[in-house]
Structure formats: structure tokens, C-alpha cells
Amino acid sequence: MKRRIILNKAYSPGFSAPMSDTPILKITGLHAKVADEDIPILNGVDLELQRGEVHAIMGPNGSGKSTLAKVLAGHPGYEVTAGDVRYRDESILEMKPDERALAGIFLAFQYPAEIPGVSIANFLRTALQARLGADEDVDLFDFQDELIDRMKLLDMEPSFAERSVNDGFSGGEKKRNEILQMAVLRPTLAVMDETDSGLDIDAVKIVANGVNKLREEDPEMTILLITHYQRLLNHIEPDVVHVMVGGRIVRTGGPEVALDLEEQGYSDWKEREEVLA
């Protein structure tokens, strides 16, 4: 059980324990623009996720979904001009990207594109080590046990961990890597921007199976799933679905919202965007 102790330490982010009714993520009146340019993208986003919930954000291309994910990650290319983002009741706007990660926020797209020569196993161990104090070490054998355990959970071949990070990966392998990172890092809040490109049906299933297994194991994991396509939501049932158009949430409801979009497409909402603009 030593492994659990070490890893639990790794997950204590130094925030005060949240009260039971404190949302994991609360976004209020969020406006953001491209840094150094007068290009507004987010025009007043409000969003509240309780512990253990899965929320999906859907919306037409160019509506600001990826920008929201990047702002949550602290991407320097965007500047928040109004509003707040609170994670477990603390504003994260002044926090650097690595501090946000340390606090238990996982951004699924935020990985180095390719790191030839660095194995997935080493990359993950370094990521875990980064969460510990200078006087603490991730025990190599505990880590290996943990990694094997995580890969079993996700039905992955152990040899996958010896591959270089993203080096020549197929779309599906990138997704496997992403889900494995999530399984090892066990975030409190996972923000997954399932960008429109490269999500073939295999990749959709890898993401969906992985997310579902992790949720089964830890029902408290909170997930913000950004996706253009409804089909991912056939495999991961969201608690709440939001539609983003023109940098705002224009509709919020249950899974039926995604089904409506599947039938009607985004054309109605595009018209509305013109009305809003």
C-alpha cells in the first residue's frame, strides 16, 4: 500500500479541502481575447461543474471551445479581460499552467507534440515526480507497479509504455497516451478538448472506454469534455450538455441537447450567432 501513500501525496494540491457543495469548477462572466490583439473570442461564459459530473461543450467550428480549454490551461496566447475561473473556490487566473496542473487540473491536449527518445514511462514518472516535494521521490518499483496496474485497467499492452512520447503515433495511439496520462495522474478535473481532426471511430472508442473506466474507478473525477461531434457522447453519457456559439453558452440541458444537435446540426445556432453579434 506504500504506492498509494506516495501517490496520494502527489495528488494533494495544497488547496483547502472543498466543502461538499463547493463546485469543482465555476466560471463566471468569462471574457477572453487573443493576447496583444483586439480579437475577443469568449464573450461571457458561465459554467458550473459539481464534483463527479461530466459536462460536454458542443458547438460549431470557431465558436471558442478550444479557446476556453486553453484559457483554463493558462495558455499565454490568450488574455482574460473580465470574469473569473474558480477551481475548488479559488481563482486560478493568476496561476501558471504548471501550478494548475499541480492543483489537479488535467488538460488533455497540453502534451509535448513529440519527444523522441523519452519513453512514455519516463515521461509519466517525471510528471508524477513534479508533484512531490524536493525531498520526496517516486519509488521506481512502486511506479512500475502503478503503471502496470493502470495499463491493465485500460487494456493496454505493457510495451506501449516503452514507446517514445507521441513519436510517430497514430491518432489512436495519441489518444491512448492521453488516457494513460490521465489514468496515472488521476486529476480532480479533466478538461478534454477532443479537437475535430483525427478522431476516427477507433480514437472515439479509446477515449470513451478510457474515460468510462476511470469514472467507474473514481466517480468523483470531474470532466469537461469539449467536442464538435455528438458521436463521442454516444459512448460517454454526459450529465449536462452546453452549446457554445459566438463565445457564449447559448443552451444548457441534458443529453437530449446533443441528440437535438445531431438531428438539426448547428445551422439554427449559426443564425442565432448572427443575431447575437
Q: Helices 171-185 and 120-129 sit at what angle, rounded to 10 degrees? A: 30
Residue closer to ligand ADP by CB (options 59, 172) is 59
- Of 35-43, 49-57, 60-68, 266-274, the window that binds Mg ion (rule: CB under 5 A) is 60-68
Cα 274 to Cα 277: distance, rounded to the nearest angstrom: 5
Of 63, 66, 181, 230, the residue at the interface with Mg ion (CB under 5 A) is 66
* 177 touches ligand ADP by CB under 6 A: no
> Rounded to the nearest whole angstrom, what is the least distance from the CB of residue 197 to Mg ion in the complex?
9
- Given ligand ADP, Mg ion, none, residue 41, with its beta carbon under 5 to 8 Å by kind, binds ligand ADP
* 276 touches ligand ADP by CB under 6 A: no
For residue 48, what are the β-bridge partners?
A: 26
- Given ligand ADP, Mg ion, none, residue 67, with its beta carbon under 5 to 8 Å by kind, binds ligand ADP
Q: Are strands 78-87 and 90-91 parallel, antiparallel or unpaired?
A: antiparallel
Angle at CA of residue 98, ends 151 and 162, nearest 5° = 30
Give the alpha-carbon dihedral of 232, 276, 78, 184, to 10 degrees. Answer: -20
Of 23, 59, 238, 246, the residue at the interface with ligand ADP (CB under 6 A) is 59
| Residues sharing a CB contact under 8 Å with residue 163, sequence separation 6 or more, in sequence order | 119, 120, 169, 173
Question: How big is the site for ligand ADP, counted in residues (CB under 6 A)?
Answer: 12
- Given ligand ADP, Mg ion, none, residue 77, with its beta carbon under 5 to 8 Å by kind, binds ligand ADP
Cα 47 to Cα 85: distance, rounded to the nearest angstrom: 9
* 77 touches ligand ADP by CB under 6 A: yes
- Given Mg ion, ligand ADP, none, residue 63, with its beta carbon under 5 to 8 Å by kind, binds ligand ADP
Chain positions 24 to 43 lying near ligand ADP, rule: CB under 6 A, are 34, 39, 41
CB contact at 8 A, 96 and 74: yes
Q: Are strands 189-194 and 222-227 parallel, antiparallel or unpaired?
A: parallel
Please report, as ranges, the residues that interact with ligand ADP according to CB under 6 A. 34, 39, 41, 59, 61-67, 77
Residues within the interface to Mg ion (CB under 5 A): 65-66
